[in-house]
Amino acid sequence: MSEEVDLLGNDSALGLLEYLEDADSPERDLRDILLAILNEDECVTSLAFEIGVAASAKIALEKDPRLDAGAASLRRITDDLPASEVNELRTLARDFLRYAMEPYSLRIGHNPLYGQWGSTPRWDAYRRELLKYFNVLTSPPLVAREGAGGEGNTLWDSGLDASVDDGIIQANLMRLPTLSTWSAVANDAYATHSVFSLPDRKAARNAVAYAASSLISGLLHDLPTFETTADRALAPRELSKLPRRFRSYYDVGFARRLLVCVISLTDMLHAPARVRARCVADQLIIILLKLKAERILDELSDTGDQLSASMGSVIDDVFDLREDAFDASLTYMSSSLWHLHRMLSFVPDVWDGTSPQDLPRPDTWFAPFPGEVVHPYLMLPESGEQNGEGVERR
């Protein structure tokens, strides 16, 4: 039985079509929506992606209503527009649909629907449906390729990567106990440090230590190549897991400082206290370490998927992210959602009143939070800080 895909049947598409029916300048709105998504500086979310598909499909339907039986009931938008404006809309729609048919593109990052479906019959059906709309907007028509797929690294799949093939790290990983006896207390995803058992906390801390070894190994492995090339597309694979919007800042000096931060945080694991973030760079490293550690515990346990949240809560307890100083998760937030929220009422305000322009730049990520100190190397002249304030003394 073949899969059926309705590009305009989801809530996001229906919300957009309803909005366009009453919009004062729907042609301008379609243009701004597609530009916001195509100019995304992080990764396009599923919500923004569905809106982009719906906007592109609507533009294609303006050219050929036969693509969808319900097109006749929709408001016509382009009939009275100058040819130049119509062509601009069709070009934007064609560009977006081209990206929408691929698992990954350098411009908008990973395709969230491919991440959800993978190389499945549903993905193939989805691509075939997109291709119908794309071919209306371009010439000559493309030919569908069954099972087209691809892989890439993002924050969310950064678990046990190639760097843990290192023999020493792999041997250490295998020394972790199989967590078949994960404590009942750890099943509570909302539990606090005081109720986690000592074996649970030790296993979580060990997993974080081995995750840090993986991260350090990856940075050390990639630094020599990174130092000899001016092509940022060849940057170390570990840096590719940091926010995409700031990738132009990720040079060799940044990589060295990041390595110092990882080593400094790892050194703090020897003490029983929670590992405390002292700057934005620490926060981002902790986010990566938590994801890697969760993957390690998940792969080495036979407790099943039901304890994933429990493992995560114990690992969370290893750290103090200092979210009172800054919420580092904002650096991964979609900028297109910020723009779309300002236009479409059904798009939530995920930025909570802030904006992409408010984010701190990477050249400030190593500056200490108030009351914290950082490693002296992070404050050397190359970083732009020479006053010595907030420098960790040993």
Query: What confidence tens digit (pLDDT) does each residue in 104-140 have?
Result: 876 677 888 888 887 788 888 999 999 999 999 986 4
Express each pLDDT in 81-107 by its tens digit.
Answer: 998 999 999 999 999 999 898 888 766
For the chain, 394 residues long, the average pLDDT of each consecutive 10-residue run is 77 94 94 93 88 95 90 90 92 92 78 82 90 84 46 32 41 43 40 57 85 87 63 60 87 89 90 91 94 79 53 82 91 91 89 88 94 89 45 40
- Please tell me what DSSP assigns to residue 105: E
CA distance 229 to 233: 10
Residue length, the chain?
394
Task: Give residue limits of the domains in the chain.
Answer: 11-137, 155-333+357-383
Output phi, psi for 168, to 5 deg: -65, -45
CA distance 218 to 237: 7
CA distance 384 to 103: 39
